[in-house]
Structure formats: structure tokens, C-alpha cells
Amino acid sequence: MKTVYKKPEPITNRPTTYCPGCPHGIAHRLVAELLEEMNLTSETVIVWPVGCSVFGYYFIGTDAVEAAHGRACAMATGMKRTHPESFVITYQGDGDLASIGIAETVHAAVRGEKITVVYVNNGNYGMTGGQMAPTTLIGQKTTTSPYGRDPKLTGFPMHVPEMLATLEATAYIARASLDSPQHIIQAKKFLKKAFNAQVNGIGFSLVEMISSCPTNWKMTPVAAMERIRNEVLPVFPIGEFKVAEGVE
């Protein structure tokens, strides 16, 4: 009998706490599949964030730590610098990484820390009830931008990969999307390159994954995925922004 589909080995048996239709499960699966395929599970430590994936360590069964809000890249730095043989991932949302943790993220990238950042961007603060994030689209209504995000008041959506790609010590920087099967296959390819950048000791790697938040967007899962294609991807284009020499 041929196995056509199975649970990746690092995924635990615990049911996730994510909302129906939330793409965090997809992002978790991509991470877990690659850990298994690249035989990295036993040397991996994942730094989990504050946000919807705060309990991520219940769902991916590696060694794990739980960072303070935004500090994942600093914590990962402390672990990787003292234990370079560990494979260190941070898994962060857009509030955690792009807002409160932007300084820690940028400086980890500036130093070329040999860590991999999985950056899941759903355009709002999911866990706390859908407040405005730095990545919220212009005109998008959230609980703290009830009249729609007004650039005169709060500026424009923040493009993290484009910013980080300008830094010399970054090894691999890309943006993928979790809205469709092709995009998910592409996301996995990007993430594999990011993992490789760390395995080969080249430098800092980050993959942004455009995600949806059906609950706070007040949409069905299918409609939320459509919104990604129609509204989000035009603002946050998919692509590789930095591929340093030696990254495969």
C-alpha cells in the first residue's frame, strides 16, 4: 500500500486551537514537513511568539521556548550564538514581528544571525481581537481603525521583506502566500531555501507568509482566501527579495 498523505512526524496529536479556516495550520505543516524531510527535527528549537501561535509548541513537537512579545529574534540570537549546532526558528506574526519586535528583527538581520524567521502576516492582531497592525491595508476596518486605516493618521502597510532585503547580512528573504495550493507549494520551496541558508551557515533568513484571518475579517474561510488574492497580494507581492550566494 502506498502512503499518499500522512501527518508529518513533528506534528503532535494535539488538536490545534486555531479558528476554523485559519492558515496557521498550513504554515505549521510546512515547517514540520521540512524539518522531517531535512532531518532537522532533533536539533531544532522553535521560538514561539505572543500572538495566535503562542501555543505553537503544543502542535509542533520540537524543543521550544516561548518569547516575550516581539523578542523572538533576540532570544533566538542568544540560543544560536551559544549553541551554533542547534537549528533555530522563530515563528512570529505581524504584530509581534513588524510592530513591537521590529528593532529585534532588524538588528538580528543586520548582524546576519544564522536563524530562520517564519513571519505569518494576516494584516491584524488576531489573538487580541482584530486590532490594526502595521500591515493593515489602507481603508481596512479593524477594531482600532473602525473608519478604515487612514494613511494620514497611521501611515501605510509595512513591507518587511523589502526592508530587510536591503541589509547586507541577510541570506534569504522572500514573501509567499498561503491562499492556494500553488502558492502553498511555492511557500514550501521558499521556506526550504530559508532553512538551507541557516543549515549552510550563510546568514539571516525570513519568509513572510501572507495569511488570512477569517474570524476577525468576518469572512468565510473561502472568501478570506479570495480577499488575499484580490486585495492583499496586490499590496504585498509574492517573490524572492534576496537570495545570497550559496543559498539553494
Report the residue number, 79 or 169, with the smaller CB distance to another protein: 79
Q: What is the dihedral of CA 23, 239, 149, 229, to 10 degrees?
A: -60
Q: How far is the CB of 231 from another protein (least distance, A)?
A: 33
Q: Which residue ranges make up the site for another protein (CB under 8 A)?
A: 41-45, 47-48, 54-55, 57, 61-68, 71, 74-83, 85-87, 103-104, 106-107, 110-111
Rounded Cα gap, residues 38 and 153, in angstroms = 46
Q: Between vectors from CA 177 to CA 240 and to CA 197, what angle results, nearest 5°?
A: 40
Report the residue number, 45 or 132, with the smaller CB distance to another protein: 45
Sign of CA dihedral 173, 174, 175, 177: negative
Sign of CA dihedral 193, 198, 203, 204: positive
Crossing angle of helices 72-82 and 102-111, in 10° steps, is 30
The CA distances from residue 14 to 11, 58, 60, in Å, are 8, 7, 9
Number of H helices and E strands in the chain, helices first, is: 10, 9
**Is the Cβ–Cβ distance between 100 and 109 less than 8 Å?**
no
Helices (H), ranges, 155-201 = 160-164, 181-199
Q: Which three cell numbers stand for residue 244?
A: 545570497
Q: How far is the CB of 97 from another protein (least distance, A)?
A: 14
